[in-house]
Structure 1
Amino acid sequence: MAREEGLVVMTGKPWSRGAALRDPNEAHRAATPLELFFDLCFVVAVAQLTARLEHAYATGHLADGIQGFLMVMFAVWWAWMNFTWFATAHDSDDVPYRLLTLLQMAGVLILASGVDAAFDGDSYRVVVAGYVVMRVALIAQWLRVARHQPTIRTRARRYAAGVGAVQVAWLILVIPDNITLFKALFLPLILCEIAVPIWAERAGAGELWHAEHIAERYGLFALIILGESVLAATVAVKDATDGGVTGSIVTVAAGGLVVAFSCWWLYFDTLGGDGPETQVRAFSWGYGHYVVFAALAAVGGGLATAAAAVAGHGDHPIPERTAALAVTVPLALFLTAVALIALRPGDPCGPDRLRKWLAAAAALVLAGVFLPPAGATAFAGGVAALLVTVETVAAHRRYRAATGTG
């Protein structure tokens, strides 16, 4: 904007600048309002997934529920991740870029509307349709890069061709609308999706991402999922207290809050400012977050399940072991994934952190097997809070040793 005689006026700009090639060392790079808006659309999909996972626990459809959750969560995460890495290198913020981003946002909403049918085993057509819409928009973005950035044209064309080929395969697979066939071929097509960036980056374009920007974007998505987890648990606790407040419900509510807050603390102190430095680490860092995000979303479903179990609500009583493990297993997976992603060569703290967090993860799984839902949730909160305390004290000691303070 510019000021003219006391008035604020918008400065002009061309509607199309062409695809950009951003500086990976750009100072003060931060998430844009469009990126934040894009993330908000994923709130709907994550909320649907969390609710359907809780429903699967409540109705006893564990295997189908967990499988459906992991499958749809991959589609949500993969589409989000691909946009995030594209934007860190090629965000031109012109009109075509914004409209193609809008198309991806529409795809998210289409996908979210098909979650119920997918979980019920009726059809994956709507989920695939939404996913393909998002991917087609990304293909158009890559074709713009190929046109306007000749120095990385081969890389961009590989992305466009690879993503396009896999989308054709998804569409062919979903035409018969055979759930058994779809589930059987899901993993091979996922491996093809994962292989596309590996193949495209072999074009030798170099490291184009902005490490701090990537770390911020992943952190913001983690916050969105944590928020959905807290919301799911809050709604469940509210429903549970309709029949009166009990000690078990209070324990689940308090333990769940401690778990969510500890997850936030551990994630951002461990990975919050730690973007990937090398090409190899970019893949392990980026891909490993699937487990982190899926586990965080599942924690929310688990807390809601535990609240429903201790209240005794629903047409089908929830087995205590199922409700307890629904909290402790996702938390154990979250701790394991974060510790592994944070492990890097030359980090003296990494191996010790990994040992402590793996021990905590094992204890959580055992607690889920032997404790009732309220006790398991309280134990999970205690373990998570203990890890926060241990890591905070260790960080303080390292600071004192480095600065020579008493």
Structure 2
Amino acid sequence: MSPDTEQFHSRLRMRMRARATDEPHRASSQLELLFDLTFVVAIASITAQLAHGITDGHGFQTVIPFLQVFFAIWWAWMNFTWFASSFDTDDAPYRVLTMVQMGGVLVLAAGVPAAFNDGDFLLVTLGYLLMRLGLIVQWVRAAVEDPASRRTASRYAIGIAVVQLGWILRLLLDQAGLLPNLWQVPAFIALAMAELLVPMWAERHHSTNWHPHHIAERYGLFVIILLGESVLATSTGVAASLDAGGVSGALVTISAAGLVILFALWWIYFLEPTGNGLSSNRDKSYVWGYSHYAIFAVLAALGAGLEVAVEQTGHHLDVSAATAAYGVSIPAGLFLLLFLAVHRPIVEHPVVRPSVILPAAVVVLALPLSVGLIGVVGVVALIAVICALVVVVSVLRRTSVHFSN
């Protein structure tokens, strides 16, 4: 058999083995990047629905379905990411099963409007089921082909399947009218907690071989996706404002401020050496990985808030200035607080100091109190200034430490 033929067959089908945790130059594959694109659609859909809820004066009521659907999106993405970090073979069966999971994401995205507007989670649950079936088969394959990981992989397959039956039962009871509205959220919380417990149970005796720098890169790419959705949401608001009233100084100012906020938050997130921190603190990966749900959720919510603020400035939506201001300040301020809380356990010498980020977060969260004096544009502009100052102070501090050493 020629070398080219051997290479073809190895790519067509290769034995699934746990990958090395110290594999050099481990980066996201083209398949992982393609996989992420399907989540762009799902996140754009829930961001738009949250923006509509805020615009219609139902922001608080919309938050619950937003967090529920976002959990399904985040958890499916995270499970795929950590599995790929440990067992990615990139052969034909692996690619096909990844495509199945991508199809599930698209089905879920199609069901977002019904989930938000009618409380109908049929398509969302079916899409989630499709994603989980693909992952279960992957874990079964790992259990069969990698004896060293058999116990852990089998537990993952069993745990995911059992919890998925719970989601199906919840859907059936809801469709039959046997699940009272009062029990909808508690049932969701119980099943979500069960999902979170599966990895802890599965890896109780033997952990998977995830790569710290690969995981850090994957999480960073998801942050970029979320910030990209905020750019899209802001541009949607600008387009609607231009259609309603044309260009104005206020519209230009708030659009520029929104861009500065997004750029500053991106800069802040990537200031910390997360890969090195995870490498040195593998035992804290659960806390770090799970708590990113909150970071990701507030970044998605920021996109909705910016869209509402821009539209409110451009053609005076039927929403109060305070609501529009809080729609930006709450996710931006929470991001600063969550960033500190999430990275502090794994980063020994943080670049972004608590003495810088904590006061900044407090001020950002309090700024909407002044909306009566400076307006929504003033509030968003000041949030941009504060976030930019956090970047400037942190970068200057890192530079001074570097030169002192």
Q: TM-score w.r.t. structure 1 length?
A: 0.92
CA contact (8 A) 2:272 2:347 kept: no
The 5 A counterparts of 1:6-405 are 11-14=7-10, 15-177=12-174, 178=179, 180=181, 181-205=183-207, 208-242=209-243, 243-270=245-272, 273-274=275-276, 276-277=278-279, 278-314=281-317, 317-344=318-345, 347-349=348-350, 353-371=353-371, 372-402=375-405
CA contact (8 A) 1:122 1:179 kept: no
Deviations 1:252-281 (A, max 9, x none): 101101001101111111256455233332
Q: Supply the distance in 2 between the matched residues of 1:45 and 1:217 (Cα, whole angstroms).
A: 18
Deviations 1:105-139 (A, max 9, x none): 00000000010011113301111111111111111
Structure 2 CA distance for partners of 1:353 and 1:179, relative to 1, 3 Å:
farther
Q: Supply the distance in 2 between the matched residues of 1:56 and 1:115 (Cα, whole angstroms).
A: 13
CA contact (8 A) 2:305 2:327 kept: yes
SS of the aligned residue for 2:9 comes to coil
Q: Supply the distance in 1 between the matched residues of 2:171 and 2:262 (Cα, whole angstroms).
A: 37
Q: Supply the distance in 2 between the matched residues of 1:79 and 1:346 (Cα, whole angstroms).
A: 27
SS of the aligned residue for 1:25 comes to coil
Q: Supply the distance in 1 between the matched residues of 2:347 and 2:136 (Cα, whole angstroms).
A: 38
CA contact (8 A) 1:128 1:171 kept: yes
The Cα of 1:221 is off from its aligned counterpart by: 1.1
The Cα of 1:345 is off from its aligned counterpart by: 6.6
CA contact (8 A) 1:89 1:210 kept: yes
Letter of the 1:306 counterpart: A
Q: Aligned pairs, how many?
A: 393
Structure 2 CA distance for partners of 1:101 and 1:273, relative to 1, 3 Å:
same
Larger mean Cα displacement after TM superposition, 285-294 or 167-176: 285-294
SS of the aligned residue for 1:19 comes to coil
CA contact (8 A) 1:107 1:134 kept: yes
Letter of the 2:26 counterpart: R
SS of the aligned residue for 2:133 comes to helix
The Cα of 1:355 is off from its aligned counterpart by: 3.6
Q: TM-score w.r.t. structure 2 length?
A: 0.92
Structure 2 CA distance for partners of 1:274 and 1:324, relative to 1, 3 Å:
farther
Larger mean Cα displacement after TM superposition, 358-367 or 104-113: 358-367
Letter of the 2:127 counterpart: G
Q: Supply the distance in 2 between the matched residues of 1:321 and 1:51 (Cα, whole angstroms).
A: 20
Larger mean Cα displacement after TM superposition, 169-178 or 54-63: 169-178
Q: Supply the distance in 2 between the matched residues of 1:346 and 1:235 (Cα, whole angstroms).
A: 37
Structure 2 CA distance for partners of 1:285 and 1:346, relative to 1, 3 Å:
closer
Q: Supply the distance in 2 between the matched residues of 1:69 and 1:336 (Cα, whole angstroms).
A: 21
Larger mean Cα displacement after TM superposition, 117-126 or 34-43: 117-126
The Cα of 1:214 is off from its aligned counterpart by: 0.7
Q: Supply the distance in 2 between the matched residues of 1:47 and 1:271 (Cα, whole angstroms).
A: 29
Unaligned runs of 5+ in 1: none
CA contact (8 A) 2:140 2:157 kept: yes
Q: Supply the distance in 2 between the matched residues of 1:395 and 1:169 (Cα, whole angstroms).
A: 49
CA contact (8 A) 2:277 2:347 kept: no
The Cα of 1:247 is off from its aligned counterpart by: 2.4
Structure 2 CA distance for partners of 1:161 and 1:184, relative to 1, 3 Å:
same
Q: Supply the distance in 2 between the matched residues of 1:346 and 1:97 (Cα, whole angstroms).
A: 34
Letter of the 1:368 counterpart: P
CA contact (8 A) 1:259 1:380 kept: yes
Deviations 1:317-340 (A, max 9, x none): 011111100001001111111111
Letter of the 2:51 counterpart: E
Structure 2 CA distance for partners of 1:275 and 1:34, relative to 1, 3 Å:
farther
Structure 2 CA distance for partners of 1:272 and 1:219, relative to 1, 3 Å:
farther
Unaligned runs of 5+ in 2: none
Q: Supply the distance in 2 between the matched residues of 1:25 and 1:85 (Cα, whole angstroms).
A: 15
Letter of the 2:16 counterpart: A
Larger mean Cα displacement after TM superposition, 223-232 or 82-91: 223-232
Q: Supply the distance in 1 between the matched residues of 2:200 and 2:118 (Cα, whole angstroms).
A: 32
Letter of the 1:362 counterpart: V
Larger mean Cα displacement after TM superposition, 353-362 or 320-329: 353-362
CA contact (8 A) 2:18 2:149 kept: no
Larger mean Cα displacement after TM superposition, 33-42 or 114-123: 114-123
Q: Supply the distance in 2 between the matched residues of 1:269 and 1:397 (Cα, whole angstroms).
A: 15
Q: Supply the distance in 1 between the matched residues of 2:390 and 2:70 (Cα, whole angstroms).
A: 27
Letter of the 2:312 counterpart: A
Letter of the 2:358 counterpart: L
Structure 2 CA distance for partners of 1:345 and 1:11, relative to 1, 3 Å:
closer
